[in-house]
Structure 1
Amino acid sequence: MSFTACLRSELGAPDSNSSKIVLPGDPSYPLSTLTYNLAIQRNSSAIVYVSTANDVSEAIKCASQFRIPVVARSGGHSYASFSSSPHGLIIDVTNLKDFSFATNHVGEIGEKVTFGAGLRLGDLDMALQDHERAVPHGVFPYIGVAGHATCGGFGPTSRMYGLFSDHIVEMEVVIANGTILKASEKTNPDLFFAMRGAGPSFGIITSLTLRTHQAPTNVILFEIDYQFPNSDVAAANLYHFQSWGSRSAPSQMGLRWSVKLNHTANSLTPRRLNWKLRGSYLGHLGRFDRVIDKLTSGFSVKGEVVKVQLYDWLESVRALGGDRALSSEGINPSNHNASYYAKSFIVRDVNPMSYSQWTTFTKKLYDISAGIKTSEDLDWFVEIVLVGGRYQGQETGVRGSGSKTTSFGPRDALLLFQMGGFGPKGASLDHGDLMDTAKVTSDQVYDSLGGGRKELTGYNCYVDSEFSADRAHREYFGEKNTEILKDLKNVWDPLRVFSHPHSF
């Protein structure tokens, strides 16, 4: 029996309209293998759209029997296209969308919710809002919950509430031998540890149980534009931002700098850096005004307030997601895909950037902006996100309850940098020149920050496709967790059924 015959025997024959199994040559194969990052395409041996945990189990058993590597796909938004596998099996869990709240002995809704791994973040937000509950997570509404859970899941409210993965209290996982089991702090705790940070190396999540919190009633979103005339001015103001953020930013505040190049009609005209301070605040406008004034009054340049607007929770989620529809129903993935490259760098609370380091970084940004003149097609960017810090002597949420029970590495992160470039949305793959520029300039920014010199300086959700496995392990997990995860891989997946370029 062949691998394909095994799949057909256990899961049913392919159907051209709503395929449970999609194989090369099937009409739906090109769309089924399309990656979010069009710059990294992989042709898989098969895609299985599962409907139950048992389907996942049978598919894994077939793959294991024929030594076919397996990857899971929830939303398919891996920066490095790790939810696709060259000559491997994609197990797509998007049909697993059951959702239910836990109730107490009198039928009252509690704080825990259980749902299938196929939900997207926006779908989850809408379902939670029916009972005015919420969880922290990233901003793009079509990201799959399972993938987000396995790399940490930082978002605008994480300084208040922690990571998405910290809220997981239990998960149903199918492991490498096809066994379906539960993982929590009390049941299979070592697997639970591994899945919350390095999940794709250890199993496929079919359902999650999360602890939720009361949805905020008031969320203020704001944007302030700044024009820093040169690198020295930029460095001085960013140094103030870091100092204020590390000890004076309340946990209700989420902050990030978005740095982009303006578009020019003339391809020979240098492109100017635009600096935008964006953020969210959980609370009332009067308190927000006092807090933001303490930050902005320390800047040497006056900014232009573009937006200060009050939202309810669900409205704020939609706005932070670019005003996209939260529901993933009917979404055409090809409308959101693009060629891109990105990488990350984390500044840890114990070792903030010196004034000299900020000067080196901003000088590199201004040098790059003077050199990129070619076109509007490359959407080049740098983001600087306030992740941690202390306020009134208290740690913020990222150093939360999951710090010892998850394999997520950089718990003491203060700032998270992301740098990279996008080609046009929904475009073809012919953007090699743009991606070369994105990689070269991103590496230059990364090097100016001191990237690659220490462990725990990267964020696994922003996975770098250029890293080797060893380097990825060092930067995303650190030496201690890497050794633990390597040992656990030998326990839970000794045959390396779950395999991707950075797997353990």
Structure 2
Amino acid sequence: MATTDQRAPDPRIDGALQELRTHLVGELIRPEDPLYDEARMVWNGMIDLHPRAVVRAGSVADIDAVLRAARDTGLALAVRGGGHSIAGYSTVEDGLLLDLGPLRAVQVDAANQLVTVEPGATLGDVDRATVGHGLAVPLGVVGQTGVAGLTLGGGVGWLTRSNGLSLDNLESAEVVTAAGEHLHASEQENPELFWGLRGGGGNFGVVASFTFRARRLPGSVLGGNFFYRPGRWKDVLSAFERWTQDLPEEMNPIASFLVLPPDFEMGQDPWMVIGFAWVGEDQQAGLDLAEQLRAAAPPDEEELGPVDWVEWQSALDHVVPKGSRGYWKNVSFSRLDEEVIDVLVGFASEVTWFGTGIDIHHMGGAFARVPEEATAFPNRSAKYWLNINGFWPDPAEDERLTNFARQAYARMQPFAEHGQYVNFLGAETGHDLTEAARQAYGPDTHQRLVALKNRYDPHNLFRRNHNIVPTPA
């Protein structure tokens, strides 16, 4: 049933939206329309906002029409790709929502290892299009995630050590700015804009198309999960730290703490899981590395062997379905000594419910070789990124589980390094936006991003994001 619109009519805005409807290839959905409640829904069920209108784009030309309408009416604008923003920025209250989700085409130039992606495509769309060519674009770890937001913020996943972030593999982007300019951004054309797109989020325009450099997949990707019961976590983390010290970059590990979903049939107790993907050509070398970890920390349960890449990438999709309620925090750090392990295991042991995960992404490798100033991503030197992520179904748990993430984050602050990863950040109300962005990016990167904002979006049309606030004229 459509939501009843309780807002007072505004003839000027209503007329502008009727005019917008006549210029669209796609459809404009208002609160009285039967599809409205479905159209306004985003992944994070904690976000319950009511746009004045939703535009489901039918072509990239609809971007221009919507930006004109937003400028003319003054309505707040939200831009949605996959709709997976944990902070809920892919919708807006009483504003105009541009939903690019229908634009999901993926074109693969296998000979040149280039993949061009429309802005509504998901990680799964890209994986399914590329795997048949023996290629993969370095993306995230959940197939439902939108490629656009993932890339503009960073893109940490199963290929980060071997190939870097998603944004490190971006060759170029087609951008529509707040003023309606159509710009090609790459290292050669509009290079400063290209720098800001890679980590600065959606602050500078709507990206109508992404072109990535894909990597070749080996004939058989080796995937594994080693499972450990709580009483062993401190020793296992110590072994993990030693194992990662000289790890070849073809090995991509993530250590997680969570109560596993029921289909794993492993009970309701929390587990530590060391997952890893080896993407080297020599599979035996990957097996030898797995054996080194097994010898140092024999798992209580394990699964190891060749994996189908699409299935591996989408294995967690059912754990975080659309409508899950979520709040995340993140910390970058490089120490994994006894003091840090005590703190990590301390709060990880408190997770006795299904609905919160704690992930430790081991970085380094190709990720760390990119100079920090080369992109707007805030920290290349940290050895680990911690993500505390919630995905619970019950609204009654909102306060408790949000507070857990905040408290775990606070307990890690003595070991934290500079910067925060915006894709792992929930929305914080009542905070100064300028200061929040400065803390996320650091003063030097933030200053450079503000200069870009002043150039490409001086009136802050694109503000539904971890916002870079332009300086007043």
Partner of 1:450: 413
1:345 touches 1:417 (CA, 8 Å); kept in 2?
yes
After TM superposition, the structure 1 = structure 2 runs for residues 436-447 of structure 1, keeping only pairs within 5 Å, are 436-447=399-410
Q: Secondary structure at the match of 1:242?
A: helix
Q: 2:33 aligns with which of 13, 20, 26?
A: 26
Let me know the Cα RMSD of the aligned residues.
2.7
- Structure 1 consecutive aligned stretches of length 4 or more whose deviation exceeds 6 Å: none
> In the alignment, which of 425, 435, 442 is matched to residue 478 of structure 1?
442
Aligned equivalents of 1:22, 1:399: Cα separation in 2? 45
- Alpha carbons 2:40, 2:50 under 8 Å: kept: yes
Greater Cα offset, 404-413 or 488-497? 404-413
Alpha-carbon distance between aligned partners in 2 of 1:242 and 1:4, rounded to the nearest angstrom: 59
Q: So what's the TM-score if we normalise by structure 1?
A: 0.82
Give the count of matched residue pairs: 450
The match for 1:201 among 196, 200, 203 is: 203
Deviations 1:192-240 (A, max 9, x none): 11111123111111111111222222211111111242xxx53343133
Residue 29 of structure 1 deviates from its aligned partner by: 0.9
Cα pair distance change 1:256/1:186, threshold 3 Å: same
> How does 1:138-287 map onto structure 2 within 5 Å?
138-229=140-231, 234-245=233-244, 247-261=245-259, 272-283=269-280, 284-287=282-285
- The whole-number CA distance in structure 1 between the counterparts of 2:46 and 2:317 is 24
Paired amino acid for 1:420 = N
Question: Aligned equivalents of 2:291 and 2:45: distance in 1?
Answer: 42
Q: Within the alignment, does 1:72 sit opposite 2:104 as a pair?
A: no
Matched, 1:6 2:16: yes
Instruction: Name the amino acid aligned to 1:82.
Output: Y
Relative to structure 1, the CA distance from residue 100 to residue 259 in structure 2 (aligned partners, 3 Å threshold; closer, same or farther) is closer
Shift of 1:183: 1.1
Letter in 1 for 2:331: F
Aligned equivalents of 1:225, 1:471: Cα separation in 2: 40
Give 2:304's aligned residue: 308
Structure 2: stretches of 5+ with no match in the other structure = 1-10, 263-267, 469-473
Pairing partner for 2:332 from 346, 350, 373: 346
TM-score, length-normalised on structure 2?
A: 0.87
Gap change, CA 1:364 and 1:255, over 3 Å in 2: same
**Contact between 1:68 and 1:497, CA under 8 Å: does it hold in 2?**
no
2:8 aligns with: none
AA aligned to 1:8 is Q
Q: Which residue of 2 aligns with 1:53?
A: 60
Distance 1:420 1:152, change over 3 A: closer
SS at 2:274's partner residue? strand
- Are the counterparts in 1 of residues 44 and 322 from structure 2 also a CA contact under 8 Å? no
Q: Judge which range, 163-172 or 462-471, deviates more.
A: 462-471
In structure 1, the residue matched to 2:323 is 337
1:129 partner SS? helix
Distance in 1, Cα, partners of 2:287 & 2:114: 34
* Displacement after TM superposition at 1:452 (Å): 9.5
Kindly provide the CA deviation profile for residues 283-318 of structure 1, in whole angstroms up to 9, marking residues without a partner as x: 44432232123233333xx3124211213xxx2232
Query: Comparing 219-228 with 290-299, which one deviates more in the overlay?
Result: 290-299
Give the structure 1 partner of residue 111 of structure 2.
Answer: 109
Closer, same or farther: CA 126–364 of 1 in aligned 2, 3 Å: closer
Q: Distance in 2 between matches of 1:69 and 1:341?
A: 24
Q: Partners of 2:291 and 2:455 in 1: how far apart?
A: 53
CA distance in 2, matches of 1:263, 1:207: 36
Match of 2:453 among 463, 470, 489: 489
Contact 1:12 1:20 in 2 (8 A): no
Q: Secondary structure at the match of 1:173?
A: strand
Shift of the alpha carbon at 1:33? 0.5
Q: How far, CA to CA, are the matches of 2:357 and 2:113 in structure 1?
A: 38
Partner of 1:331: none
Q: 1:272 to 1:474 in 2, by over 3 A?
A: farther
Q: Which residue of 2 aligns with 1:393?
A: none
Identity, in percent, stands at 24
Aligned pairs for 1:388-427 (under 5 A) are 388=364, 396-401=365-370, 403-424=372-393
Change (3 A) 1:355 1:114: same
Q: Deviations over 1:308-348 (max 9, x none)?
A: 1213xxx22322311769xxxxxxxx963211222111114
For each residue in 1:357-407, what CA deviation from the matched residue of structure 2 results, as whole angstroms up to 9, or x when unmatched?
2213323333x25xx6xxx6x52221222122xxxxxxx111345744321
* 2:293 aligned residue (292, 295, 302): 295
Query: For each residue in 1:66-114, what CA deviation from the matched residue of structure 2 results, as whole angstroms up to 9, or x when unmatched?
Result: 2222221110000011111122211111232344345xxxxx8322232
Query: Which residue identity is paired with 2:49?
Result: R
Q: Write the letter of the residue equivalent to 1:237.
A: V
Deviation for aligned residue 1:500: 1.9
Q: Which amino acid aligns with 2:203?
A: S
Instruction: Please tell me whether the aligned partners of residues 11 and 55 of structure 1 are also in contact (alpha carbons under 8 angstroms).
Output: no
Residue 454 of structure 1: CA displacement? 5.1
Partner secondary structure for residue 500 of structure 1: coil
Q: Is the 8 A contact 1:170 1:183 kept in 2?
A: yes
| Partner of residue 317, structure 1 | 310
Separation in 1 of the partners of 2:242 and 2:435?
30
User: Within the alignment, does 1:500 sit opposite 2:468 as a pair?
Assistant: no
Say whether the 8 Å CA contact 1:139–1:317 is kept in structure 2: no
Q: What's the secondary structure of 2:117's corresponding residue?
A: strand
Q: Which amino acid aligns with 1:435?
A: D
The aligned counterpart of 1:379 is 355
Distance 2:355 2:411 in 1: 21
- Paired with 2:453 and 2:261, the residues of 1 have a C-alpha distance of 47
**Counterpart-to-counterpart distance in 2, 1:167 and 1:210:** 6
State the AA in 2 paired with 1:409. P
Helix, strand or coil at the partner of 1:201: coil
In structure 1, the partner of 2:341 is 358
- Three-state SS of the structure 1 residue aligned to 2:201 is helix
Instruction: Name the aligned partner's letter for residue 452 of structure 2.
Output: L
Shift in alpha-carbon separation, 1:61–1:13, aligned structure 2, 3 A: closer
